[in-house]
Structure 1
Amino acid sequence: MEILTWQARMEKGITLVQLADRTGLSKSTLNNIENAKTSPTLMELEVIAKALGVKITDLFESEYK
């Protein structure tokens, strides 16, 4: 499964710092998610989706989507 937070963030014109401020997640956590160094929890995906104004399913690519 590929996480698409970077793509969604770029489409919205939001910086990593702005997303961190909107979500309460650290920049390093968000960076690790975007670079596939860690997998986000469902709660983190929900917070990110809300901050970006997208559906959770918009944030990942999966054949089971």
Structure 2
Amino acid sequence: METRLKKLLKERGLKQGWVAEQTGISLGAMSAIVNGKSDPTLRSARAIARVLGVSIEELWPEEDER
């Protein structure tokens, strides 16, 4: 699943570790999600979106929105 998470973190000057800490996701899991090596669970995706103040759809757009 393609994600815009890495781009958003860079634009906002945020670190993966900070997001991981705020969401309760391990740093290893967060790294895999940010780098597109692992898809987040729905719970994780909601937590990440909530912490960043965006919708899940903004981070993981549907294929026809790319």
**TM-score normalised by structure 1 residue count:** 0.84
Q: Which structure shows the higher strand fraction?
A: 1
2:42 pairs with 1:39: no
* SS of equivalent to 1:44: helix
* SS of equivalent to 2:64: coil
**TM-score normalised by structure 2 residue count:** 0.83
In structure 2, C-alpha distance between the alignment counterparts of 1:54 and 1:27, rounded to whole Å: 21
Following superposition, which runs of at least 4 residues in structure 1 exceed 3 angstroms of deviation? none
In structure 2, C-alpha distance between the alignment counterparts of 1:40 and 1:20, rounded to whole Å: 12
**Over the residues paired in the alignment, what is the CA RMSD in angstroms?**
1.7
* Identity in percent: 32
In structure 2, runs of 5+ residues without a counterpart are none
- Paired residues in the alignment total 65
